Chain A
């Protein structure tokens, strides 16, 4: 219960991703799908029509061997903090920003599937649900009860594991903690990363690891020139990796069916 006398301290949840540590194993992609009940690929799915709330792009410096260098860049919704493009264009108010967390949320119940938000998102971090969600027989028993599967025809995206945030809020309330303070929780991709490349926390808290890492000189954000103020920060010691932040889409190429 909110105290009437104490102002709510807003959080600004964000991440720092150490690109130099990411091995591109895909654990974050798979853990995200398990946590958020994202169905396995439909047989017609491609890397353009797939449903992955977080996607790891393989990028290189464009040079030939022996000067060729490669890196893996996980990209999810960047949770823009300024002039959030997808919020502006949604005709159904299906996208909003939670003032308590700074998380850009998506309400599939309101979504019409017009995909304006996908066109507006400069990070290509939103995905359209082209097919009915389907799991192999029996596997539906393994669905996470904290997250509702979405229907065909709506747009989905990362919400920084809203279900986990909600559970943390409930646990904090049950423990008698005031709900005026941000809660600590860990999104699935952060928990799953075996290399410990992803850190998560409150960017408004100057003592947090993410706030400190975000302020370091080797940190950068994708397409910073757009001034959308993303809350996902990347880090790399390599200047060529930092330069890819200006590219429209890491690893952009023609549609490929890898299945």
Chain B
């Protein structure tokens, strides 16, 4: 029998149709889904005993209380501690993913520790009488900061440099009926989220902002002004210049300024944030008592502003950027360094900050690997002491900046956190709040050992209110002056609050949705002539770099909003203007 091609095709076709009437293909499809579920490429969550541990988040000055759900010792989920008297169970997006910080892509994991120590020692030995050894502390007010101050005191020509943050001044949001904010992100990272939200119903928020920031959009009233005109508006409200002059500068109308002035008069007390030109009503800004320290620490070096150091005078610079904090543009630092072979050592977890410029970038332990304390935040009237207790071990090879700098200065230190806790306990002031049972008890009735254990197991010390709150004054840095013609650099710069350094899950809020400006991007008005998402070059007097463009109708023409990443902040130092051109 001969088999024709027609018969073969008929058999194949019939088989194909027939098999559809059997369960086989449908079963195969279902099984395909099941097989793919077990792909080896899909990571399996760790198994182990589920435990709850407590700590405090050191990623900003809020220091929110944290409840960590752990598998074994590994935290897998962070949440706030309900019932906390100040943070009130709240945690910001950064704090929620804080346990991912040890796995930061691009983390500095190794560095030339011995070489850096030798270079620092050599630099200190060679330091001339007109030169300085400086420690730049981006998070002043910590116990480590006291060590840096003591170390700089121990070194001849030592200087402790910190951003101008007055840790002894606080604002009392509960006393304010109106908050007048000049560009301060009151509802977006300023202060303690839980405290600000709980006080929010008690005050009317007026936001003066060139762009529609998150706080501006949530404020009771948003006044859009021209960038750089905030001081003129504040002076007009203070009666120092005519309303018409402020109107010319800010772009507001005279009647708007008059109405605002009247509102501030009628709806006090008024808390003014972001401007030193206008006084807050008495009682809304208070002097906070100092968290006790051992007596022998008080002979430490005072804080020095970077600007007050002579140019070309710093021979050795040690930078602690182990915790996210303020950022000083590199050009402001670089001009303070001596011309011939300065030694710059930075303690960093990421290479995106000063590690790009330093001679030595040394790896450090990060939250939640290492212990450290968190000074009271700006909106905390009472002093506080919280310890970010470690939950996991730091990787081998990391350096403790406090020990490194103390050793460089020949200063012998012990367990400084314990010494500080003992000093607080010895003062007998305040209460201890423990997170596991949410109870407060007077420090006086707790032993020093129990106090220390409680601070490390999830607890905080809150000072008792001063018998009489003394008035204080907030100080703010003056905005950078425009030094170039608008035709050269047509855009005024507005910098957004910095996001966490590249934490992967935060991509949800800027890449997979449009909530925040992504690192390395600038936002412009849609009429700027560039396309959304297109690459561009951002240029200021200080240099230029590649950026991505985001178009946002909340940005007025003539303004560029930049994400607060170090590479962009370095370019925004003294030049308040920029241009963005197609790449």
- A257–B511 CB distance below 8 A: yes
Q: Mark A57-93, 1 if CB is under 8 A from B, else 0.
A: 1101000011011111000000000000000000010
B475 proximal to A (CB < 8 A): no
B36–A41 contact, CB under 8 A? no
Q: Are A47 and B514 in contact (CB under 8 A)?
A: yes
- Pair B37/A35 contact, Cβ less than 8 Å: no
Given A52-B508, A191-B79, A194-B193, answer yes or no on A136-B105 (Cβ-Cβ < 8 Å): yes
Contact assessment for A30 and B509 in the assembled complex, using a CB-CB cutoff below 8 Å = yes
Q: Give the interface segment out of B89-97, B168-176, B479-487.
A: B89-97
Taking CB atoms and an 8 Å cut-off, the chain A residues in 17-71 that contact chain B are 21, 23-27, 29-31, 33-35, 37-38, 40-41, 45-47, 50-52, 55-58, 60, 65-66, 68-71
| A41 and B511 contact, CB distance less than 8 A | yes
Expressed in whole angstroms, the minimum distance between the Cβ of A52 and any Cβ of chain B is 5
Chain B contact surface mostly? mixed
Q: Which residue of chain B has its CB nearest to the CB of A48?
A: B512
B45 CB to nearest chain A CB (Å): 4
Beyond A31-B96, A112-B33, A142-B76, whether A50 also contacts B512 by CB under 8 A is yes
Residues of B within 8 A of A40 (CB): 504-505, 507-508
Contact A41 B507 (CB under 8 A): yes
Q: Which B residues are CB-close (under 8 A) to A138? A: 102-103
Using a CB-CB cutoff of 8 Å, which residues 17-39 of chain B contact chain A? 29-30, 33-34, 36-37, 39
Cβ contact within 8 Å between B512 and A109: no
| Chain B residues closer than 8 Å to A150, beta-carbon distance | 37, 42
Q: Of residues A52, A69, A142, A148, which shows the largest number of chain B Cβ atoms within 10 Å of its Cβ?
A: A142
Choice from A50, A51, A145, A149 contacting B71 with Cβ under 8 Å: A145
Contact of B100 with A139 in the complex, beta carbons under 8 Å: yes
Q: What does the 1/0 interface line of B37-77 toward A look like (CB < 8 Å)?
A: 10101111111101000000000000000000001001111
Residue of A71, A112, A135, A192 most packed against chain B (CB within 10 A) = A192
Q: In the complex the two chains form, is A139's CB within 8 Å of B509's CB?
A: no
Q: Is B380 in contact with chain A by the CB < 8 A criterion?
A: no
Which of B211-219, B356-364, B571-579 contacts the other chain?
B211-219
Chain B residues within 8 Å of A66, by CB:
222, 224
Residues of B within 8 A of A109 (CB): 33-34, 37
Given the interface contacts A110-B30, A142-B76, A145-B46, does A27 sit within 8 Å of B92 by beta carbon?
Answer: yes
Residues in A with CB closer than 8 Å to B515 are: 24, 26, 29, 56, 58, 72
CA distance A158 to B508 in the complex (A): 15
CB-CB < 8 A to B159: which residues of A?
none
Q: Contacts A58-B515, A141-B74: A259 and B510 contacting too (C-beta < 8 A)?
A: yes
- Is B550 close to A, CB under 8 A? yes
Interface set, chain B 529-559, CB cutoff 8 A to A: 532-533, 548, 550, 553-554, 556
Whether B76 contacts A258 by the Cβ 8 Å rule is no
What is the interface of chain A mostly: helix, strand, loop, or mixed?
loop
Hey, what's the 0/1 contact readout for B510-534 against A, CB within 8 Å counting as 1?
Answer: 1111111010010000000000110
The chain A residue with its CB closest to the CB of B253 is: A66
Provide the bound-state CA to CA distance between A147 and B44, in Å: 10
B77 touches A144 (CB 8 A): yes
A26-B512 in contact (CB<8A): no
B217:A70 contact, CB within 8 angstroms: yes
Residue of A nearest to B224 (CB): A65
By beta carbon, the residue of chain A nearest B256 is: A66
Q: A254 CA to B526 CA in the complex, in Å?
A: 14
Closest CB in chain B relative to A144 CB, distance in Å: 5
Query: Residues 114-128 of chain B: 1 if any A CB is under 8 Å from the residue's CB, otherwise 0?
Result: 000000000000000
Q: In the assembled complex, which residues on chain A have CB atoms less than 8 Å from the CB atom of B393?
A: none
Q: Can you report 29 A-B residue pairs in the complex whose CB atoms are below 8 A from each other? A: A26-B93, A30-B506, A34-B78, A34-B97, A40-B505, A40-B508, A45-B507, A47-B512, A69-B217, A70-B212, A71-B217, A133-B43, A134-B41, A135-B103, A135-B504, A137-B103, A141-B46, A142-B74, A144-B76, A145-B50, A149-B43, A152-B36, A192-B91, A194-B80, A194-B90, A194-B194, A195-B193, A258-B514, A258-B548
Q: A-contacting residues of B (Cβ < 8 Å)?
A: 29-30, 33-34, 36-37, 39, 41-48, 50, 71, 74-80, 90-93, 96-97, 99-100, 102-105, 187-188, 193-194, 197, 212, 214, 217-218, 222, 224, 504-516, 518, 521, 532-533, 548, 550, 553-554, 556
A-B pairs with the 5 shortest C-beta distances?
A50-B512, A40-B504, A194-B90, A26-B509, A41-B507
Binding site for B on A (CB under 8 A): 21, 23-27, 29-31, 33-35, 37-38, 40-41, 45-47, 50-52, 55-58, 60, 65-66, 68-72, 92, 108-112, 132-154, 188, 191-192, 194-196, 251, 254, 256-259
Known pairs A52-B513, A154-B33, A258-B511. 10 more at Cβ < 8 A?
Answer: A24-B217, A37-B45, A40-B504, A40-B505, A71-B217, A136-B103, A136-B504, A145-B50, A153-B36, A258-B548
